[in-house]
Structure 1
Amino acid sequence: MADPWEECLEFAVQIARKAGAVVCAALKEDVSVMLKSSPADLVTATDQKVEEMIISLIKEKYPSHSFIGEESVAAGKGSTLTDCPTWIIDPIDGTTNFVHRFPFVAISIGFAVNKQVEFGVVYSCVEDKMYTGRRGKGSFCNGQTLQVSGQKDITKSMIITELGSNRNPEVVKIVISNMERLLCIPIHGIRAVGTAAVNMCLVATGGADAYYEMGIHCWDMAAASIIVTEAGGVVMDAKGGPFDLMSCRVIAASTKEIGERIAKELQIIAVPRDDGKRI
């Protein structure tokens, strides 16, 4: 039986490359910056332009499909995930990096059917690294097969997280406290690249053993979640339970043992879900 979504995956790779070219060109120009939820939550005209381009191209080819896009949601559209084929899009994951020309920005395109992610494309465009993952068919970067580290001992682990854009003092205290708890286990180290999608892909490559964050969104996680699992890793809720794409929190790990150990240490930050339900 032919794979019904393989053509969609190939199309997503093409679109990601086109979007990446726009982003890389914009990096050479003056950037007009706007604020969203906080002084550290940024959006640019390029974010909006790239998302409009991606959705327009997909709608032309697949007019019956649904969409959840970061900037569309910011503009007031809903983010309800249904059983319909749905493209989940972050036009620039790492907008703050983009504004400062810090060279880690990505186009993230996830595709879900029956609320299950079928494939994901994450294009780290400055690096020219194209990450892809297809359910049941593995994960790749520029055509090379990805495999997680398989590390089970947290004391030998490198973990990625982010400080996030929430500047509420109580939230900042929890973020720092969670890092302190992990560092004092002790672990080898903590890193932050500035884009959730690339952070998760680094777990898929084996370059990091785990990533966790609270306060991110489905468009940050959708594509990269399948890339991690198809590379042999696990994704789970920050409390250690099953992963929920709409929960705004995640642990992506090389092994269940590492993921559960991180979850045991984390103090949970209360954040609204993308679908508006109560946690």
Structure 2
Amino acid sequence: MADEWQDPYDFAVEVAKIAGKIIRRAAEEEIKVNTKSCTVDLVTATDVRVEKIIIGAIKEKFGEDTHCFIGEESAAAKGPSVLTDKPTWIIDPVDGTTNFVHGFPFVAVSIAFAVNKELEFGVVYSCFEDKLYKARKGKGAYCDDEKIEVSDIKDIHKSVVISEFGTNRNVDVVTEICATMKRILLIPVHGIRGTGTAATNMCMVACGAVEAFFEIGIHCWDVAAGAVIVQEAGGVLLDVDGGPFDLMSRRMMSANNRTIADRVIKEIKIFPAERDDGK
């Protein structure tokens, strides 16, 4: 029986590398910055251009009306991001825009593909590292064609945890985030890190560099590709309250195992985040 989704998967790898080259080239030029929801929620012409290139290439390859798209700079701007049963590409063209603007070398192209509301594959290209992470459901996770797995650490005291501060500058939200960071540090853990890109953070979990990554306020396009990669590398994906992961909830915990995840979850102070699907 033919593998229906192999061709889209291979094409996602190809187009992610093309997008990465465009981003690296753009970083050598003057970067013009605009803002979206607030002064620290940034967007550049490169974000918009790269998303148009990715979506345009997919439409040219597979047909204009055969697939749906959820993209940070296009579909999301039109209202809630609704995931249907149709084949759907979930795209973050420049994950880590603030990094891109400041020359901080962690910027990723994130491309995921879902059918019947289930994620089938994810591709994350870390542009400046020139590392490509990829995974298909049931077929394992890879970095540059080398199989990757989560770490085997179960002792929280020997772990490294990743999280981010996000773009919400509401004083109550920032207070809750800082309180969570403090509580986790005092477990104690070996350290807390953050690359500034959710997609790359999830790949760090998948390849065993860190034991957990959680965040409240991220979007579906930030984590969709990484979700497949983490799970196929042997990790777990949960809500920050320990319940099932919901792609549209804007809340996510990924970890190497349930033991580490549950211990970190105990320290997370949860605050509201409006769902991507508007429900």
Partners of 1:24 and 1:73 in 2: how far apart? 24
* Residue 165 of structure 1, CA deviation: 0.7
Q: Deviations over 1:101-134 (max 9, x none)?
A: 1100000000001111100000001110000010
Q: Deviations over 1:116-170 (max 9, x none)?
A: 1100000001110000010000000001100000221111110000011111111
Alignment-derived partner of residue 158 in structure 1? 160
Contact preservation (8 Å) 1:161, 1:190: yes
| Alignment pair present for 1:216 and 2:218 | yes
* Residue 62 of structure 1, CA deviation: 2.0
Partners of 1:83 and 1:151 in 2: how far apart? 37
* Residue 77 of structure 1, CA deviation: 4.7
Closer, same or farther in 2 for the Cα pair 1:74/1:117, shift >3 Å?
closer
TM-score (norm 2): 0.98
Letter in 1 for 2:157: T
* Residue 261 of structure 1, CA deviation: 1.4
The percent identity for this pair of structures is 57
Partners of 2:4 and 2:153 in 1: how far apart? 35
Q: How many residues are paired up? A: 277
- SS of the residue aligned with 1:60? helix
Partners of 1:12 and 1:35 in 2: how far apart? 28
Partners of 1:5 and 1:121 in 2: how far apart? 13
Alignment-derived partner of residue 170 in structure 1? 172
- Root-mean-square deviation (CA, aligned residues, Å) is 0.9
Alignment-derived partner of residue 71 in structure 2? 69
Alignment-derived partner of residue 226 in structure 1? 228
Contact preservation (8 Å) 1:68, 1:78: no
Letter in 1 for 2:36: K
TM-score (norm 1): 0.98
Partners of 1:95 and 1:223 in 2: how far apart? 17
Partners of 2:191 and 2:58 in 1: how far apart? 40
Alignment-derived partner of residue 145 in structure 2? 143
* Residue 78 of structure 1, CA deviation: 3.9
Q: Equivalent residues in 2 for 1:12-161 (5 A)?
A: 12-63=12-63, 64-161=66-163
Letter in 1 for 2:167: S
Contact preservation (8 Å) 1:84, 1:114: yes
Letter in 2 for 1:168: N
Q: Deviations over 1:146-199 (max 9, x none)?
A: 000022111111000001111111110001000011111111100011000000
Closer, same or farther in 2 for the Cα pair 1:37/1:106, shift >3 Å?
same
Partners of 1:58 and 1:213 in 2: how far apart? 30
Partners of 2:189 and 2:196 in 1: how far apart? 20
Partners of 1:73 and 1:96 in 2: how far apart? 21
Partners of 2:45 and 2:79 in 1: how far apart? 18
Contact preservation (8 Å) 1:213, 1:249: yes
- SS of the residue aligned with 1:71? coil
Alignment-derived partner of residue 206 in structure 2? 204
Partners of 2:87 and 2:30 in 1: how far apart? 37
Partners of 2:79 and 2:52 in 1: how far apart? 13
Letter in 2 for 1:196: A
Unmatched tracts of structure 2, length 5 or more: none
Letter in 1 for 2:160: M
Partners of 2:137 and 2:115 in 1: how far apart? 11
Partners of 1:151 and 1:206 in 2: how far apart? 9
- SS of the residue aligned with 2:266? helix
Decide which moves more: 108-117 or 262-271.
262-271
- SS of the residue aligned with 1:23? helix
- SS of the residue aligned with 1:219? helix
